[in-house]
Amino acid sequence: MHPQLGLSAVLIPCALAAQTPAAVQRAANSITAEGVRHHIGVLADDSMLGRATPSPQLEQVAQYVAEQFRRSGLKPAGDTGYLQRYTVTQRVVDTQVSVIRIAGAAPATLKPGSDVYLLRFTPLPTRELSGPVVLFTGTPDSANPLAGADVNGAWAAIIATAMPQGIQINPEWVMAVLRGGAIGWMVISNRPDAQWQNRLARTTAPTRTLEGVPSDAEPAAGAFEIRDATAAATLGIDPAALRAGTGRWTARRLPATVTYLVKERELARASAPNVIGVLEGSDPKLKSEYVFFTGHMDHIGTPGAGEGCVAKGADSICNGADDDASGTTAVLEAAEAFSKLAPHPKRSLAFMTVSGEERGLWGSQFFSEHPTVPLANVVADLNSDMVGRNWKDTIVVIGKEHSNLGATLNRVAAAHPELRMTAIDDIWPQERFYFRSDHYNFARKGVPILFFFNGTHADYHQVGDSPDKIDAEKESRIVKLLFYLGLEVANAAERPKWNPESYKQIVTGAN
C-alpha cells in the first residue's frame, strides 16, 4: 500500500505552479466524505424515485445540481441558464401494419410481437429493407468476423444459444456485418417459452427515443430474432444441429429473401435535462479550451418506468446511489473544490451532469451533437460512473492506453501517495465498458477521455443500490485524485494527445 499522509505539497507537479501548494491543498481538502455522503443522500433518496428519464424527480435533481453550481460560482453553460434540454419521443410498434416476410423454403409472413422479437440496438428503420440471407455458423473468429462473406445489402443471420439470463451476441460481429454493408441482422434462438414470451412483450411495449441527433450518428439497421422452429420452416435449416456443431467459422448464402417493414406510432413527447456549468480559466489564451468533468444523474427509476427496475419485497425503488449518484457527486465535489482555488486553472473547467445514460447515453449524445461550447476546444473528458463501492484503495480507470492522459494520471497518482488510491487499467475488456458510459460520446468526437469506474456489484440496477452502502471516505479520495488530475491537465502547456492507432479505431471508425 502507498504510505499515509506525507509531504504531498512538495510532490505536486510543476504544472500547478500557477497556484501555491497551500492553496491547492486547501481546495483539495474541501472534498470530504461528509460532502459525498450528503449529496448522495439527496440524489438517491427514496423521494427521487430512482430518477428515471424523463420524470419529475429527474427535474428535481437537475435543479439541485444547478443550485450547487450556482453556489460554486460556475457560469451557466446550458441553452438557457444551467440546463440544456433535449426531446424524447414515446412510440409503439404499429402491429397492424408491421410485418417481416421470409420468402424461402416455406414462405411466411411474421408479425412483430407474435412471431418476432424486434431487437433495438439502433432506432428502428423507417424504410422497407429487403435482401438475401447470409448464415454464419461455427465458432466465431474475431480475426475474420465475416468469414470471407459478402454481406452488402444482405441480412446477416447467426445461431444463438439461450441461457437463463438470455442470449449473448458478439458485438464485434454485429459491427463487422454492419460495416460490411448488411441491411440488418437476425438471430435464431432456442429460447424457452417463458423467456420468449417476455421478449415478445417487450416488442409491443412503448419505447422512448432521442430526437435531434443525425441519422448517421445511429445507423438504422434492422434487427430481429426468431426461434428455431420458425427458422427451420422458412429457411430450410436445422438450427439445433448447427448449434451443436463446433466446426470452423463459416458463412453461406441461403436461398431466401427477408423483407422487413416496421412502422411505429407516436404516443407522446417529453424533454429531459443536462446541467452544465463553467469555471472560466485564468489564462487569456488557454481559457478558450475546456476540461470536462462528467457523470450521469439519471437511473432506472421504479418498475413502472420501463427501464428494468424490479421490486424486491416491499422495496420498489432502484435508488442508483452508486449508479450514478456517486458520479454526479464527484462532479459537484470537484466543482466546489475548484471554485475555492485562486487563481483559477489556466484552462476553463466545465462540469456537466447528463441524463438518459441508462436509456442509451442520450444526454451526452445530444450534447455531442449540440455542444454549448466548441467541441474542438474540449481537451479532455474525465467521466465518473459508479465510484462509490468495491475496493477500498483501488479505482479502475478505463481508456488510459488511448492517449497520454493515462501517463498524466499515473504521474499525478504517484505524486499523491497520501490518497492511498491505485488507478489500474481496464480489467474487464470483454465487457466493453469503454463504449457504455457518457465519455464515449466525447471520445467518438475526438476528445481524449478517462473513465473512472469501480465496476459492477450484486446491487447493480437493483433496489439494493442504496446510499447506506456507499463508501464515502473512499469516494472522497477518488474525487481528490480527479481534482489533482484535472488541475494538471488544465494547467499543462499542451493539450492531451491521442494514441494514433486508438484515434483511428475510436474516432475515425465511429464517424
**In the predicted structure, residue 199 carries a pLDDT above the cut 60:** yes
Is residue 3 assigned to a domain?
A: no
Note whether residue 8 is domain-resident: no
φ/ψ (deg, to 5) at 323: -115, 90
Mark whether 249 and 276 lie in a shared domain: no
Same domain as 126, residue 81? no
pLDDT at 511 over 70: no
Give 2's pLDDT tier (boundaries 50, 70, 90): very low
- Tell me: do 393 and 292 sit in the same domain: yes
Q: Which domain holds residue 232?
A: 95-262
Q: Which of 227, 245, 262 is the last residue of a domain?
A: 262
Check whether residue 108 and residue 254 sit in a common domain: yes
Answer yes or no: is 13 within a domain: no
- Based on the fold, state whether residues 429 and 489 are members of the same structural domain: yes
Q: Residues 328, 240: one domain?
A: no
Asked whether the predicted pLDDT for residue 409 surpasses 90, the reply is yes
Residues 349 and 466 grouped into a single domain: yes
Which residues, listed in sequence order, are joined to residue 141 by a DSSP beta bridge? none
343 is written with which cell numbers? 487563481
Of 364, 380, 351, 352, the C-alpha closest to 279 is 351
| Domain shared by 47 and 114, yes or no | no
Whether residues 225 and 77 share a domain: the answer is no
In a domain, 9, yes or no: no
Please report the pLDDT score of residue 124 as a whole number: 85
CATH of the domain at 242: 3.50.30.30
Q: Are 85 and 272 within 8 A, CB to CB?
A: yes
pLDDT score, position 219: 55
CA distances 199 to 154, 165, 234, 430, Å, are 25, 12, 21, 25
Boundary (domain end) residue, out of 262, 296, 312: 262
pTM of the complete model = 0.84
How large a percentage of the chain has pLDDT more than 70? Answer: 95
At residue 170, the pLDDT reads: 85
Residues 140 and 38 grouped into a single domain: no
Does 278 lie in the same domain as 251?
no
- 335 and 463 together in one domain: yes
Last residue of a domain, one of 228, 262, 296: 262
Cα separation, 361 vs 463, in Å, equals: 22
Where residue 445 falls (left for φ over 0; alpha for ψ -120 to 50; beta otherwise) is alpha
Per the domain annotation, does 392 fall within a domain? yes
**Domain at 398, CATH number:** 3.40.630.10
Contact (CB, 8 A) for 348 and 288: yes
Measure CA 219 to chain center: 17
Strand partners, 131: 258
As for how many domains the chain has, the answer is 2
* Strand duo 290-296 + 378-384: pairing: parallel
What percentage of the chain carries pLDDT values higher than 90?
A: 85
